[in-house]
């Protein structure tokens, strides 16, 4: 397949620094530091049944990421939200995946001073994306503990969403080489962090546990913690050692791209009875039920 054919097959609509255009035609200048230096931050949001889930929280987090990287846009949070809502409206998609990005921009010739760049807003909307296919969601994912360590927050605050994905990407090659689909990455001390594009939870003796450090604090993760509280389920947010996952009763991932997905195999061994667990199912069902809560979502007017 040619590059032109590959691009033509991409559905969706983009907003590129002030202009709307088909996603297949959207390009970032090769001199943009977002491309050259991965000097860019982003947020991933989803639309379900015509409503954008937790848009205000996503925009607030996006703004915090920009502040953390000393970026700024000549737009208010409300204006950014309006652009994203308008993107969704223009596509007509009722179930969709939104990416919003702030790039450092293009540096003037003869300097590498990032302060001299005009920061740029890029965004696009595609049909809804799942981190796992239908079969994987039904049977559960196979996970391994990666030998690749996560970039430590001492080097880059992982609460800032970023495209420094090479550690995550190389861990995925390791998973595929070992017959798995996903990984969780450790730190040097053996505690675990997150996987490529998702947070992780495990259940032991009825207690829900999730790592507390060197992670991106996902909106879906936040939703799970809130659900646990409402269900009067104990949830521990603490350091987690890799060995604890091997002894877990249940494991699941939490991400914007698909919500809650069970993990039924870890390091080549079944978790529990090797089937998606009841607590995972209960949290997953409640997570999707909350998408009907109008206080947690923003309606898109498609008129």
Domain boundaries, the chain: 3-127, 134-291
Average pLDDT over residues 102-124: 96
Q: Which two tokens stand for residue 269?
A: 């061994």
Q: Which two tokens stand for residue 137?
A: 């969601």
Average pLDDT over residues 181-196: 98
**Positive or negative, the Cα torsion across 45, 285, 295, 93?**
positive
Instruction: Give me the chain's average pLDDT, please.
Output: 96
Average pLDDT over residues 16-35: 96
According to the model, what pLDDT value does residue 8 have?
A: 64
According to the model, what pLDDT value does residue 303 have?
A: 81
Question: 3-127: which CATH topology?
Answer: D-amino Acid Aminotransferase; Chain A, domain 1 (3.30.470)
- At 36, the pLDDT band (50, 70, 90 cuts) reads very high
CATH of 134-291, one of 3.10.580.10, 3.40.50.720, 3.20.10.10, 3.90.79.10: 3.20.10.10
Q: Please check the confidence at residue 5 and state whether its pLDDT lies above 70.
A: no
C-alpha–C-alpha distance, residues 168 and 149, integer Å: 9
Q: Please check the confidence at residue 240 and state whether its pLDDT lies above 90.
A: yes
Q: Calculate the alpha carbon distances from 254 to 33, 49, 202 in Å.
A: 30, 20, 11
According to the model, what pLDDT value does residue 35 have?
A: 96
Average pLDDT over residues 116-142: 97
Per DSSP, helices labelled H in 119-255 are: 134-139, 166-177, 219-230, 242-246
pLDDT single digits (tens) 193-206: 999 999 999 999 99
Average pLDDT over residues 268-281: 97
Average pLDDT over residues 50-63: 98
Q: Please check the confidence at residue 7 and state whether its pLDDT lies above 70.
A: no
According to the model, what pLDDT value does residue 2 have?
A: 55
Q: Please check the confidence at residue 3 and state whether its pLDDT lies above 90.
A: no
According to the model, what pLDDT value does residue 9 have?
A: 75
């Amino acid at each position: 397949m040619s590059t032109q054919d590959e691009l033509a097959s991409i559905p969706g609509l983009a907003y590129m620094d002030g202009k709307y255009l088909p996603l297949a035609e959207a390009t970032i200048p090769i001199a943009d530091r977002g491309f050259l230096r991965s000097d860019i931050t982003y947020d991933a949001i989803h639309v379900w049944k015509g409503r954008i889930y937790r848009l205000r929280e996503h925009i607030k987090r996006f703004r915090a990421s920009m502040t953390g990287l000393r970026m700024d846009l000549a737009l208010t949070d409300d204006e950014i939200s309006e652009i994203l809502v308008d993107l969704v409206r223009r596509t007509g998609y009722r179930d969709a995946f939104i990416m919003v990005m702030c790039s450092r921009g293009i540096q003037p010739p003869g300097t590498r001073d990032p302060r001299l760049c005009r920061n740029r807003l890029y965004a696009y909307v595609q049909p809804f994306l799942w981190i796992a296919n239908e079969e994987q969601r039904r049977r559960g994912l196979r996970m391994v503990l990666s030998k690749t360590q996560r970039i430590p927050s001492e080097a880059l605050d992982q609460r800032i969403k970023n495209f420094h994905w090479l550690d995550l990407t190389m861990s995925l090659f390791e998973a595929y080489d070992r017959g798995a689909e996903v990984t969780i990455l450790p730190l040097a001390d053996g505690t675990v962090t997150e996987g490529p594009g998702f947070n992780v939870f495990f259940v032991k003796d009825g207690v829900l546990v999730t790592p507390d450090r060197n992670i991106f604090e996902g909106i879906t993760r936040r939703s799970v913690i809130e659900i646990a509280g409402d269900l009067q389920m104990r949830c521990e947010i603490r350091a987690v050692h890799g060995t604890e996952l091997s002894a877990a009763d249940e494991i699941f991932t939490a991400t914007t791209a698909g919500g809650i997905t069970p993990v039924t195999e870890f390091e080549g061994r079944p978790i529990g009875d090797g089937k998606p667990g009841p607590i995972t199912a209960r949290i997953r069902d409640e997570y999707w039920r909350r998408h009907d809560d109008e206080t947690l979502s923003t309606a898109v007017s498609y008129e």
